[in-house]
Amino acid sequence: MGKPDVFLPSRWIRQCAAWLRDHPTDSAAIVAALTLSLLVIVGPFFATDRPPLVDLPTHAAQISIFRHYFDPAFHFREQFTLHPLQVPYLSMFAVGSIAALVFPITGAAKISVLSMLCLLPVGLAVFFLGMKKSPYWGLLGLGLIWTEVLSWGFASYLGALGLSAMAIGIALMVLDSPSRKKQIALALVLLVIFFTHIYRLPFTLLCIGLTAGVLYPACGRLRPVLLPMLPALLALSCWLGVRTVDTALSLGELRLEIGRLPTLGRHVFGSYLHAAGARETQLGGWLLTAAAGLGLLATALFFVQGRHRTETRRKRYWGAGVTALPALIAVAYLFTFLVLPLNIGQWYFVYPREAVSVVFFALGMMPDLPRAWSWRVPMFAVVAATTLPMSSFVFDRWSEFQSESEQLDQAISRMRPAPKLSYLIFEPQGDTSQAHPPVLHFPAWVQAELGGAQSFSVLQFGHSPIRYRKDSTWTPPLAPARWEWTPQQFDIGEHGTWFDTFLVRMHSNVDPSSLFHADPSIRLSGHFGRWWLFSRDRTNN
């Protein structure tokens, strides 16, 4: 009896090594592509300990809750319950929690974000591969890493976008040449989308249905992609049965807002203000212009080199289908950009996110790369010349934020373990040129690093797999609506009696001590830049 045909890792490694040895030019190209990707994606994360992404501190806190749930010193199990099926946003937190076994929570949070960002170029590469085009075009996805969506901290959205492109690419492979391995791969990617950003899953399933319809004249197949969709559909059905009321979002009245069209570019590259904003717009313009120029050049070469001449009807229909497909998907996402509201319940910045989706899938309209490396090398050089400056620009902007991180370090060093922290952010913008408030949730890093409780958390909205326990001595009082935006609501008698630590960010030279005069047990513990730390002499447990 022969050995079973299994795809062992050692065998796979040997096959890859043999292929690389036999294809030295492609090997060099792969190394160059990986190097460029690492420089563009990873580089800025070395600029500061805590990147200025608005929601990242809250993500770090949730990663810490998963990591230290059974650690009594953090008091998380006394405070929270876990609901991974009711709200299955798990992928990013799972990566971060595993990384936190080895790295500090600041490093683990960075790794969780990086894992999502890498999916953009990888997913786009698989999409191109499924269309029988060069996967090196996936490098264009590097141009959409540093967007307004990321500045808000919506990394899981970007990761799910890359996974969506990956799923469509694998679906194309299944339609072209069905196999069990490809179907299993498609089913697994769809399930990962479910656990990464559940609201991206219906969009992806619809896109796969569109893919099957558009490519039907070429392939004559629909059934091979239906079976891999069943596990994701089953998971979605189970979620609909167990989800709670606060995750059942209402879209409200939908209207076609044509007036949003001129703002599409601003919602792709709109993370900075003033001179930095002008520079970002310039760099973003270079990226989009370069992509358009490369597309025109590749199209011209496609016809000049005669690659448009195909011998079979199937190839002609395939070529037409994979040309139309990314355009149709981009148009569909453009429709969502024009129709969806800005807010859905507690979800903010809804329709602007789709601007990145429009551009991302529009990149798929690129024709195949010319096969000659004499053309490919200068085209890759253009991609590098336009993506690296944007990464360098972000590195410089993030470097400016390091002082904020150092000031928070000083405050954390003065705090007791597992503090019951009330934080008030009167000045959320920070000393940066960012268009969005990078320190709005910054004190959530305290919970991530020291444990304990905090006065405001996005967990109270119910859109996380982590929920507050009811009637626990470690569950803080529920913060009033828009607490994070309106700290002026704070009254020490009404909102402060439960807490033992208070962190306040004020405008320069404004002493917030008057906020606590009514409670003589609260005293100033330290002043670090614009951060003021107060502590209660006796705990109020």
Residue 306 is predicted with a pLDDT of 86
Domain ranges of the chain: 9-54+99-105+108-239+256-398, 402-536
Residue 244 is predicted with a pLDDT of 72
Residue 541 is predicted with a pLDDT of 43
- Tens of pLDDT, residues 238-296: 999 888 755 555 667 789 999 999 999 999 999 999 999 999 999 999 999 999 999 99
Residue 21 is predicted with a pLDDT of 80
- Tens of pLDDT, residues 157-188: 999 999 999 999 999 999 999 999 999 999 99
Whether pLDDT at 10 is above 80: no
Between 251 and 313, residue with greater pLDDT: 313
Residue 540 is predicted with a pLDDT of 46
Distances (CA, A) of 276 to 95, 281, 285, 299, 528: 32, 9, 14, 34, 26
- Percent residues over pLDDT 70 in the chain: 96
Mean pLDDT of 41-65: 97
Strand-pair partners of 424: 504
Its sign, for the CA torsion 352, 151, 198, 169, is positive
Helices and strands (DSSP H and E) totals, the chain = 19, 7
Residue 5 is predicted with a pLDDT of 45
Three-state SS for 159-195 is HHHHHHHHHHHHHHHHHHCCCHHHHHHHHHHHHHHHH
Three-state SS for 323-385 is HHHHHHHHHHHHHHHHHCCCCECCECCCHHHHHHHHHHHHHHHCCCCCCCHHHHHHHHHHHHH
Q: Nearest-CA neighbor of 58 among 119, 113, 118, 103?
A: 113
- Tens of pLDDT, residues 84-108: 999 999 999 999 999 999 999 999 9
Instruction: For residue 295, count other CB atoms closer than 10 A to its CB.
Output: 17
**Contact, 225 vs 212, CB < 8 A?**
yes
* Amino acid sitting at position 411: A
Residue 307 is predicted with a pLDDT of 81
Whether pLDDT at 538 is above 70: no
Residue 12 is predicted with a pLDDT of 73
| pLDDT classification of 2: cutoffs 50, 70, 90 | very low
- DSSP for residue 137: G
Mean pLDDT of 209-230: 96
- Tens of pLDDT, residues 474-521: 999 988 888 899 999 999 999 999 999 999 999 877 899 999 999 999
Mean pLDDT of 338-351: 85
Residue 7 is predicted with a pLDDT of 47
- Tens of pLDDT, residues 58-68: 999 999 999 99
Mean pLDDT of 7-32: 77
Residue 247 is predicted with a pLDDT of 53
Lowest-confidence segment of 123-127, 320-324, 342-346, 403-407 by average pLDDT: 342-346
Whether pLDDT at 6 is above 50: no
Q: What is the pTM of this model?
A: 0.93
